[in-house]
Amino acid sequence: MPEPLTRELRDRLRGVVGDRWVIVDADRLLAYESDGLTAYRKTPRAVVLPKNTKEVSRLLGILSQEGVPVVPRGAGTGLSGGALADGDAVVVGTARMTEIIEFDPANRLARVQPGMINANLTKAAEPFGLYYAPDPSSQSACTLGGNVAENSGGPHCLKYGVTSRYVTALTVVTYDGNIVELGGFGRESGGYDLLGVFIGSEGCFGIATEIEVQLLPRPEGVQTLLAIFDRLGDAGTAVTEIMAEGLLPAALEIIDGPTIRAVEASVFAAGYPTDAEAALVIEFDGIEAGLARDVARAAEHCRVAGAREVRTADSAEERLALWRGRKKAFGAMGQISNDLMVQDGTVPRSKLTEVLELITEIGVRYDLTIANVFHAGDGNLHPNLLFDRSNAEELGRVDRASKEIMAVCVDAGGTITGEHGVGLDKRKYMTLVHGPEELDAMQAVKSVFDPLGRMNPGKVLPDRPDSASMTT
Amino acid sequence: MNPLAGLLSERLSKAQVVEGFGTERWAVCGRVPQAVVFPENEGQVAEVLTLSSEEGWHCMPAGRGSWLNGGQPPKGIDVLLSTDRMNEVSAYEPADMYIEAQAGVGLDELQRRASECKQWLPLDPPGGGGRGTLGAMLAVGTAGTLQTSFGSPRDLLLGATLITGDGRRLCLGGRVVKNVAGFDLLKLVAGSWGTLGVITSATMRMFPIPAVDRSLLFRGADVAAGAALTSRIAQTPLSLAAVELLVPGGGESGAGISSPLVAVRILESADAAAEAERVVVERAGIAPVERLEGEKSRAIFDNVGAMEGGAELVLRMSLLPTRLPELVEMIPPLEGLYDPRAGWGMRLAAHAYTGVLRVMIAKLSRAEGWLERSNAVLGELRRSLEEKGGSLVVSQGPPEIVGALGAWGETGPAAVFAERIRVAFDPASILAQGRLPQ
């Protein structure tokens, strides 16, 4: 159990945010012991929920005076254990920071608080014909602050790019309580791209308390098609051919046979044939007049590659139905398995089929069910390893298989994580992709923002020499 | 041979070190290096930097020298290190849409290679244009007209190798578009002006060349009308590749300012391009004076970057995009600063989606009191832009002006982070000192 806060410290924190928003009861802290990656559980010492930049600054000022480590947390949907706090740390949550601070539709800009849910920003922008492009699968729950911390992607970043392309400014509070502005649309400044390096820093540099983002005009038209394949490799071929022709779909997503069967067995059944080995969802958006030809070309490539069936959607409702199997894949797997370890390696697109075969082989060798969902267009794989965390022996196999999967991705010219972040989970695998010089440079830059090393400690960078293990 | 050049040629070879007469064309903002070195591999780059760190020589990374007169003048320059002889394309995988090349590869060469596979690198940086090298373009980091549709250099940079000031070799990023394995140090490299290290190679994200590349040119009655038309067209909900207000400047006899053009670039498939054209023309309310396709369309936008060629002074004024008309209204005080009889006088180019207005002046007037007057007008312009939440960057100019005003304006409290980062990469403070605000 974590060491409780002293009465004095608790009261000082309460003095900033009010009694209600300092959580110290063991039963309420339980809600913060885990994030989307349930293999890890850690109970924080306390959780504090500020409502604006000033409060965050005052809280951090107090906590840094006392030398208490701080762990920022959004909605807790992360998949790398990045929002977990050791018993000596206090979680600063953004759950109450959900406001739009400024909305400027003419300049296609919004300034929001970090606790705002990703999908809510698009909802707010909708009446102006605008939307926020990055769309992680958890977008109905995850927060923009979390997206900034992870530099989140999503299915549509194939065409539109990841979070860092859309964040134009941040207000940041560092561990010592200082408030700093980074970036700013409509003004250019000399000097390093501190905004860029802050994005994706997983809460290790500071807490973003205000986020300015660029919105995009909603595309005039969207068309989706679904192709069903008997062989996963054929779906991969179709993807390669579509990209080689120079078509640029907004999304190119594949779910494999085991995932299809999990989805169809769940309440999320989407009507995918359960004997298929791959379902490829392709979406085009843009000027309506140009879509029909793109869709026809993509459908043709699917058929030539061996698709047994190609479905297109004529209405928004049908479009959602085609997407359902992809979007609900995680939820469906949650229904057939107690726990999921989702991996996130990225490989050059042309290596997809080869790498998937190796992953299947790893699953067989470790006697694990691995179901794959992936962003085929940008080579970002999500192998889901199904397990039961009460089975320590199985957990050990999951750990070893995970490491092998990451190594396979790195060997293919890719990396260990494309969008979920390193967090707690992958820090011990950082040495697969980075040498000591690169890790030292990362540490040096972290120290610039957080010289005492108390912002989200124990995340991203590995302990050296490498000794950590997931089962601890 | 001067002692510095002598020491360098002991480490490299004589043929890789230039001193004396040949160094003049490598002057940085008017300052001539004592020696120019042309390393042929990463090991030699590291060697030069390590030696410079030991000797305390000011070292300036460069490519072919396209951007040497841009930015803030260096504090000192002993050695200029050109990556010109590191010019191999090391890997190009069209199917994976990335290209990995040494820093000294020219952007023109990169585009030529890519076009063979119907791909391109959708970057059109101002200044050096196609003549510049990949490494220099990244170090400068400035985006051109395609920024809103494809991103800045930093957004298309997937990976890079950097030799730090003290000779460490860092491999940052990788070859894949999505990569969050650790802190994103690559972002620091783009736009670092050589102060963190020498970029020796980079991996860039490539794109398919769109089926249709079409530019529509509209003429505005005057600059204000042109700005209004630019904003009106940019407000269409279609995503246009670029909307630019261009004032090409006068002829030799020049009245300085000529009548403005609004250039709209459409990069789409055939059917979509036709529809986009229809919508743009409808919104403009007037017929285009010209319609360019393919290479010609691309050329006109490449020229937008090259408009800076031969300019003595280049300014970048920014405000939020909807305030473009206001930006344009701030131009008149600048009209007293240049010599209207010299070259094309003054040119303007504004990018509708980012709210950046570039002002290019062929030659400043040298009438008595010119320096004080120029500094006063520019200082006032910066103050007034900053007051409105914008900025003024003096991206190129005579050292007397850039030295006095600084290329960049207010840096704010974040500058303390920047300085600590710099020291972490270049502990002996030898690299491109003074090029960025400190």
What local confidence, expressed as pLDDT, does residue B386 receive? 94
Cβ of residue B238 closer than 8 Å to a chain A Cβ: yes
**A468 has a pLDDT exceeding 50:** no
Are residues B72 and B163 part of one domain? no
What is the topology classification, in CATH, of domain A7-93?
Answer: 3.30.43
Residue B233 structure tokens: 């067209």
| B321 vs A contacts (CB less than 8 Å) | 107, 186
| A186 vs B contacts (CB less than 8 Å) | 318-321, 323, 354-355, 389-390
Could you tell me the CA-to-CA distances from B228 to B261, B279, B328 in Å, in that order? 12, 17, 10
Are residues B232 and B179 part of one domain? no
d(CA A162, CA A148): 10
Are residues B396 and B355 part of one domain? yes
d(CA B110, CA B204): 10
Average pLDDT for B235-255: 80
Average pLDDT for A222-249: 93
Task: Render pLDDT for B311-338 as a digit per residue (tens, 0 to 9).
Answer: 999 999 999 999 999 999 999 999 889 9
List the Cα angle B9/B12/B15 in 5-degree steps.
70
Average pLDDT for B306-315: 90
| CATH 3.30.43.10-classified regions of chain A | 7-93
| CATH 3.30.70.2740-classified regions of chain A | 337-420
What local confidence, expressed as pLDDT, does residue A1 receive? 67
Task: Render pLDDT for A18-47 as a digit per residue (tens, 0 to 9).
Answer: 999 999 999 999 999 999 888 889 999 999
Chain A residue with Cα closest to B276: A287
B302 or A117: which leads in pLDDT: A117
**A66 has a pLDDT exceeding 90:** yes
What local confidence, expressed as pLDDT, does residue B129 receive? 60
Are residues B193 and B334 part of one domain? no
Task: Render pLDDT for B186-205 as a digit per residue (tens, 0 to 9).
Answer: 999 999 999 999 999 999 99
- In chain A, positions 2-61, which contact chain B (CB-CB < 8 Å)? none
In this structure, the strands spanning A70-73 and A90-93 are: parallel
d(CA B427, CA B438): 14
- Give the residue from B208, B229, B254 where a domain finishes: B208
**B41 has a pLDDT exceeding 50:** yes
Lowest mean pLDDT among A243-252, A324-333, B163-172: A324-333
- Give the residue from B160, B175, B208 where a domain finishes: B208
Average pLDDT for A52-70: 98
Are residues B76 and B161 part of one domain? no
What is the topology classification, in CATH, of domain A337-420?
Answer: Alpha-Beta Plaits (3.30.70)
Task: Render pLDDT for B109-155 as a digit per residue (tens, 0 to 9).
Answer: 999 999 999 999 999 998 766 689 999 999 999 889 999 899 999 99
* B269 contact partners, CB below 8 Å, separation of at least 6: A290, A293, A294, B210, B211, B212
Task: Please check whether residue B433 lies inside any domain of the structure.
Answer: no
**A12 has a pLDDT exceeding 60:** yes
Asked if B160 and B166 count as a contact pair (C-beta separation under 8 A), the reply is no
Residue B29 structure tokens: 């903002």
What's the alpha-carbon Rg for chain B, to the nearest Å?
Answer: 22
Are residues B384 and B273 part of one domain? yes
Q: What's the DSSP call for residue B192? A: -
List the Cα angle B240/B243/B245 in 5-degree steps.
170
Task: Please check whether residue B126 lies inside any domain of the structure.
Answer: yes
| CATH 3.30.70.2190-classified regions of chain A | 221-332
Are residues B345 and B235 part of one domain? yes
d(CA B224, CA B262): 12
Are residues B394 and B253 part of one domain? yes
- In chain B, positions 379-398, which contact chain A (CB-CB < 8 Å)? 385-386, 389-391, 393
| CATH 3.30.465.10-classified regions of chain A | 100-217
Average pLDDT for A63-68: 97
Lowest mean pLDDT among A245-254, B256-265, B340-349: B256-265
d(CA B170, CA B165): 11
Q: Is A103 left (phi over 0), alpha (psi -120 to 50) or beta?
A: beta
**B94 has a pLDDT exceeding 60:** yes
Residue of B95, B208, B275 lying closest to A289 (CB–CB):
B275
Are residues B329 and B245 part of one domain? yes
3-state helix, strand, coil in chain A (%, to 5): 40, 20, 40
- Tell if the CB–CB gap between A414 and B174 is shorter than 8 Å: yes
**A7 has a pLDDT exceeding 50:** yes
Identify the bridge partners of residue B399 per DSSP, sorted by sequence position. none
Task: Please check whether residue B413 lies inside any domain of the structure.
Answer: no
**A323 has a pLDDT exceeding 70:** yes
- In chain B, positions 296-335, which contact chain A (CB-CB < 8 Å)? 316, 318-323
What local confidence, expressed as pLDDT, does residue A472 receive? 31
Lowest mean pLDDT among A87-91, A346-350, B125-129, B227-231: B125-129
Is the CATH code 3.40.50.300 the one for domain A221-332?
no
Tell me the one-letter amino acid at A268: F
d(CA B317, CA B411): 16
The CATH number covering residue B9 comes to 3.30.43.10
Quote the minimal CA–CA distance from A125 to chain B in Å: 13
Number of domains in chain B: 3
Residue B329 structure tokens: 């209204």
- Give the residue from B159, B189, B208 where a domain finishes: B208
Whole domain around residue B132: which residue ranges? 89-208
Average pLDDT for A165-178: 97
**A365 has a pLDDT exceeding 90:** yes
Task: Render pLDDT for A289-313 as a digit per residue (tens, 0 to 9).
Answer: 999 999 999 999 999 999 999 999 8
What local confidence, expressed as pLDDT, does residue A316 receive? 86
Are residues B382 and B347 part of one domain? yes
The CATH number covering residue B178 comes to 3.30.465.10
Quote the minimal CA–CA distance from A263 to chain B in Å: 26
pTM score, whole prediction: 0.96
Chain A residue with Cα closest to B119: A246
Asked if B394 and B378 count as a contact pair (C-beta separation under 8 A), the reply is yes
Residue of B170, B269, B390 lying closest to A441 (CB–CB):
B170
Task: Please check whether residue B426 lies inside any domain of the structure.
Answer: no
d(CA B208, CA B371): 48
Task: Render pLDDT for A416-427 as a digit per residue (tens, 0 to 9).
Answer: 999 999 999 999
**A322 has a pLDDT exceeding 80:** yes
Sign of the dihedral through C-alpha B99, B103, B106, B108: positive
B330 or A321: which leads in pLDDT: B330
Residue B5 structure tokens: 């050049």
A189 or A449: which leads in pLDDT: A449
DSSP assignment string, B374-396: HHHHHHHHHHHHHHTT-EEEEEE
What local confidence, expressed as pLDDT, does residue B128 receive? 65
Task: Please check whether residue B388 lies inside any domain of the structure.
Answer: yes
**A62 has a pLDDT exceeding 50:** yes
Residue A336 structure tokens: 């057939």
Structural element, H or E, at residue A11: helix A7-17
- Helices marked H in A84-210 — which ranges? 118-125, 144-150, 157-160, 194-198
Cβ of residue A368 closer than 8 Å to a chain B Cβ: no
Q: Cis omega (within 30 of 0) on the bond before A465?
A: yes
DSSP assignment string, A287-344: -HHHHHHHHHHHHHHHHHHT-SEEEE-SSHHHHHHHHHHHHTHHHHHHHH-SEEEE-B
Are residues B156 and B226 part of one domain? no
Average pLDDT for B263-272: 95
Task: Render pLDDT for B388-403 as a digit per residue (tens, 0 to 9).
Answer: 999 999 999 998 999 8
d(CA B138, CA A471): 43
Are residues B176 and B104 part of one domain? yes
Task: Please check whether residue B160 lies inside any domain of the structure.
Answer: yes
What local confidence, expressed as pLDDT, does residue A125 receive? 97
Task: Please check whether residue B103 lies inside any domain of the structure.
Answer: yes
What is the topology classification, in CATH, of domain A100-217?
Answer: 3.30.465
Average pLDDT for A183-188: 89
